[in-house]
Every structure is written in structure tokens, then in C-alpha cells.
Chain A
Amino acid sequence: EVQLVESGGGLVKPGGSLRLSCAASGFTFSNAWMNWVRQAPGKGLAWVARIKSKPSGGTTDYAAPVKGRFTISRDDSKNTVYLQMSSLKSEDTAVYYCATGGGINGVDIWGQGTTVTVSS
């Protein structure tokens, strides 16, 4: 069964840091492009970051609101993708979804999400 399981969410103070993890199973993780997509309370979906597979160059891309503050990385030996978040702001409060794809075939597999709350 294809599965993505996020973890690491929680409550953090403004200016703090948090690392999210996403464990993948049921498909060849090393060939997959991986994304983080977030959804603020009552709002729509917003793409956060993408990391391509190593065969595709392993490059990373970020949405403007998080560039310079967030870092996406992957460990193909653990079938896991990470999102290191720093200098967190209240507007980063959201459910964070891990998802595969992000190329011409869209974002095809989604996890159930992990909640990040930035508040003092």
C-alpha cells in the first residue's frame, strides 16, 4: 500500500524552529519528487517546497513566503523527506501535507498531514 506519514508537528513560539518528517512506503521513494504543501485554517492549499529525485538532479524549489527560512531535504536510505522550518511566524500556522510529484503529472499521493501552530 502506498503511504505517506507525516510527523513532527506541534506548538512553537514565533521565531522558533521545527522539523517535520514524512515517511514513505509502498513505492520507489528514490525516484519520487517530494513536496510539502500547507493549508492554513479555513484557507486553500499552498505549495511550500519541492525536492526532485537524485536522478532528476535532486534540486530544491521553494515558495516565496518560505524561501530562506525553510529547507527541504531527503534521505533515500530511510525513505524519508524532511522540512526544517526556522524563524517561524504566526502565518506559518497550518496543516502541512507531504506529497509526491509536483511535475507535469501533478501532485499524486498525499499524506494525512501534521499540524503546526505558531503562537506565543
Chain B
Amino acid sequence: RKEVEQDPGPFNVPEGATVAFNCTYSNSASQSFFWYRQDCRKEPKLLMSVYSSGNEDGRFTAQLNRASQYISLLIRDSKLSDSATYLCVGNNYGQNFVFGPGTRLSVLP
């Protein structure tokens, strides 16, 4: 079993739709979590950190449930520019980032 698993995707949604991505992690020692987005043939870029209390940044909302070892990302009012691969990342304190395989999103006009 992979340490970080994500919805396999791809997700194809119309502009304006709301889309949710799910991620689970197996290492209960993981301390911090992030969502990165990666455009085709580009490097991953930080989208947002994920906190137990949940956090929101404009159209994006991230949630962490430590009891269920589950992380989510919600995108509201999808834009064409949201098309990318979304990577869920866990970090064991003092250790490396562990990436999920990514979920690809295509927002269609």
C-alpha cells in the first residue's frame, strides 16, 4: 500500500463546477500536509497548506481529519486555469515529503 493515496482521476468538469479531491495517508506519524498543483511539464507549486481546523484560500478549501487519516481539497467555481494535476503531500516531522500519485483535473469550457 502506498503511503499517500489519491483519487485516480482524471476529473473532467465544466467551468463553474465544484470539484473535490480526496487523499488518504497511512503513516500516522505524518505531521504536516500540503496540496501542490503541477501543470503539464512544469514543477509542482504550493497551492496551500492543510490544517486540522481546515483552511480556505479564495475558491479553495482544504480539510484534514487526523482520526481518519484523510485530507481533502475542494475547488469551487472551477476556472479553465485550474486544469492541472493536484498532488497531496504528507511530511513526517524532520523527514521528507511523501507525494501521492496526483489527480488530474481538466476544466472544460
- Bound together: no
